[in-house]
């Protein structure tokens, strides 16, 4: 093989189900050799595309794709201002694609390049929602029957869907919820689930930033008797200092990091042992390169990984998650939203879930490909997702 160079960097946008997905394709001077990465930031998809094709393409074309560490750092600081979600997602897509290329050249799966397997498959958790306690219980049991041992339980989605009455005159449109009713409903939900299902199943819950800090402290303390596997995103990144108070009040395990984009958001939580699971969205922090370093940092402080894995991660991003999962000693659990038939058709080689575990394949690189012709049949819709316009009963804008 002649000296390898990057010849093109492209963003591929597609929305085969609901979320707007962004996949980066890095092409090389070797015919047929390319890499794929996930740059999905579904709320700002066109901004990420511009960052990739108008800026990062100019930076990367002509460079040696093998020099991942140097390329990551020079691209990261090349914008001067850094650590924002648009630029991080753009860089993440290229970074994952470079690891994909390196694996293909080596003839090895990416998990081998990261140190090899610590486990054959990664345990996943699924989402069980419902209109009331009994409905949630039914959905939990349905997942259990399929072999899942980790289940996140919500009632009415994030913050609940309880009726909000008596809005002010001329209240602005949005997704209204009542934080007080929601907070009071959660302990009752887990009291019901534990009394009916018992303690031989790992249950989780996601506050999703929907409470003011002191109410998050109170809820974490109230949930302590129900032995959650973890309580997810109890606070927004802007309020991480409150984790110290939660730790002082209870032993409910805490998971945090879905919205993190800057090392100063996670470093104090990890090094002061204020969380138990790191939940970062790998595309939002810069890709596999920083994620592997973060996992190693967490291992030194007894924090386990639980990478973000919802529907607004592309199958390529899910594949990257799984390669990290099986090669990280301090893996905890992997969020898994499931892949539709059309997503699997567009992305052949997607990770497979069997009996509660997700498995990477043994193909070189990330082991996944994309059918661009089929992906183009599902263009990304425009518009603002309503759930991002969260409002309290009086119309105050809240964290979504």
pLDDT tens string 267-325: 999 999 999 999 999 999 999 999 999 999 999 999 999 999 999 999 999 999 999 99
* Residue 2: closest CA among 30, 28, 26: 30
Q: Do β-strands 352-354 and 357-359 pair in parallel, antiparallel, or remain unpaired?
A: antiparallel
Asked if residue 75 lies in contact with residue 4, where contact means CB atoms within 8 angstroms, the answer is no
Collect contacts of 240-245 with beta carbons under 8 A, ≥24 apart. Answer: 240/265, 240/268, 240/269, 240/274, 242/213, 242/216, 242/217, 243/269, 243/274, 243/275, 244/272, 244/274, 245/213, 245/217
Distance (Å, whole) CA 193 – CA 190 = 5
Tens digits of residue pLDDT in 7-30: 999 999 999 998 999 999 999 999
- In this structure, the dihedral spanned by the alpha carbons of residues 245, 249, 250 and 252, taken in order and rounded to 10 degrees, is -30
Q: How far apart are CA 233 and CA 337, in angstroms?
A: 17
Task: Determine the pLDDT at residue 1.
Answer: 62
Q: Is the pTM of this model over 0.85?
A: yes
pLDDT at 211 over 70: yes
Determine the average pLDDT of the residues in 90-112.
98
Using the Cα atoms of residue 217, residue 222, residue 227 and residue 228 in order, give the sign of their dihedral.
negative
Question: Which of the 8 DSSP states describes residue 200?
Answer: S
Token pair belonging to 226: 């129900």
Q: Which residues make Cβ contacts (< 8 Å) with residue 87, sequence separation at least 6? A: 51, 79, 81
pLDDT at 88 over 80: yes
- Percent of the chain at pLDDT exceeding 70: 100
Whether residue 131 is predicted with pLDDT greater than 70 in this model: the reply is yes
Region 100-119 average pLDDT? 98
3-class DSSP assignment, residue 363: coil
Topology of domain 113-363, CATH: TIM Barrel (3.20.20)
pLDDT (average), residues 191-220: 97
Known catalytic residues? 158, 208
């Amino acid at each position: 093989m002649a000296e390898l160079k990057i010849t093109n960097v492209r963003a591929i946008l597609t929305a085969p189900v609901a979320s707007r997905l962004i996949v980066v394709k890095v092409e090389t001077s070797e015919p047929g050799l390319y890499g794929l990465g996930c740059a999905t930031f579904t709320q700002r998809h066109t901004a990420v595309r511009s960052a990739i094709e108008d800026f990062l393409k100019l930076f990367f074309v002509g460079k040696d794709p093998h020099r991942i560490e140097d390329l990551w750092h020079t691209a990261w600081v090349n914008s001067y201002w850094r650590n924002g979600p648009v630029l991080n997602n753009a860089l993440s897509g290229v970074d994952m694609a470079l690891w994909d290329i390196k694996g293909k050249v080596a003839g090895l799966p990416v998990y081998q390049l990261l140190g090899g397997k610590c486990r054959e498959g990664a345990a996943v958790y699924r989402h069980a929602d419902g209109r009331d306690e009994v409905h949630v219980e039914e959905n939990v049991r349905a997942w259990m029957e399929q072999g899942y041992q980790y289940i996140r339980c919500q009632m009415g989605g994030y913050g609940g869907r309880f009726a909000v009455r008596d809005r002010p005159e001329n209240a602005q449109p949005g997704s209204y919820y009542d934080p007080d009713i929601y907070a009071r409903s959660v302990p009752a939900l887990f009291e019901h689930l534990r009394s009916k299902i018992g303690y031989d199943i790992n249950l989780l819950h996601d506050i999703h930033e929907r409470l003011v800090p002191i109410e998050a402290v109170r809820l974490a303390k109230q949930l302590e008797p129900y032995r959650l596997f973890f309580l997810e995103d109890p606070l927004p990144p802007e309020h991480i200092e409150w984790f110290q108070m939660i730790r002082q009040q209870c032993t409910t395990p805490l998971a945090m990091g879905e919205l993190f984009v800057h090392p100063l958001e996670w470093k104090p939580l990890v090094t002061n042992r204020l969380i138990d699971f790191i939940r970062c969205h790998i595309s939002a922090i810069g890709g596999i390169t920083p994620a592997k370093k973060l996992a190693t940092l967490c291992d030194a402080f007894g924090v386990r990984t639980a990478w973000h894995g919802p529907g607004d991660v592309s199958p390529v991003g899910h594949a990257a998650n799984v390669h990290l999962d099986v090669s990280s000693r301090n893996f905890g659990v992997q969020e898994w939203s499931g892949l539709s038939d059309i997503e699997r058709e567009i992305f052949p080689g997607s990770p497979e879930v069997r009996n509660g575990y997700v498995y990477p394949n043994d193909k070189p690189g990330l082991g996944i490909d994309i059918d661009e012709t089929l992906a183009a049949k599902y263009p990304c819709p425009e518009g603002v997702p309503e759930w991002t316009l969260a409002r309290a009963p009086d119309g105050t804008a809240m964290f979504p």
